[in-house]
């Protein structure tokens, strides 16, 4: 059985989806994957797994978009800049 570790759990305030990030470690010793579970209203789930390279690319693209938009609206660019 795969070992699942919850990394974070948060709610999207605009769509009220519950988002959970998990690390899934394969029992056969394969590369760990990032699992994203999005719970819609009620019991509908969207679940997908991604490898570290895809996760890093996606995260960077999201930061590339979010940093200037957040800064333009008076929010800190990102947590790393707030330290």
**Nearest 5 degrees, angle CA 43-CA 48-CA 50?**
160
Q: What is the pLDDT of residues 14-69, one digit of tens each?
A: 999 999 999 999 889 899 999 999 999 878 999 999 999 999 999 999 999 999 99
Residue written as tokens 């699942």? 4
Which residue(s) pair with 4 in the sheet?
A: 24
Q: Is residue 45 situated within a structural domain?
A: yes
Whether 22 is covered by a domain: the verdict is yes
4 neighbors 24 (Cβ within 8 angstroms): yes
Q: How many domains does the chain have?
A: 1
Residue 82 lies inside a defined structural domain of this protein = no
Whole-model pTM? Answer: 0.80
């Amino acid at each position: 059985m795969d070992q699942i570790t919850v990394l974070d759990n948060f709610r999207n305030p605009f769509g009220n989806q519950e988002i959970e990030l998990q690390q899934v470690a394969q029992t056969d010793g394969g590369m760990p994957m990032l699992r994203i579970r999005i719970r819609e209203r009620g019991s509908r789930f969207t679940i997908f797994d991604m490898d570290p390279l895809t996760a890093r690319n996606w995260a960077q693209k999201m930061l590339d978009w979010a940093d200037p938009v957040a800064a333009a609206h008076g929010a800190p660019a990102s947590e790393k800049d707030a330290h």
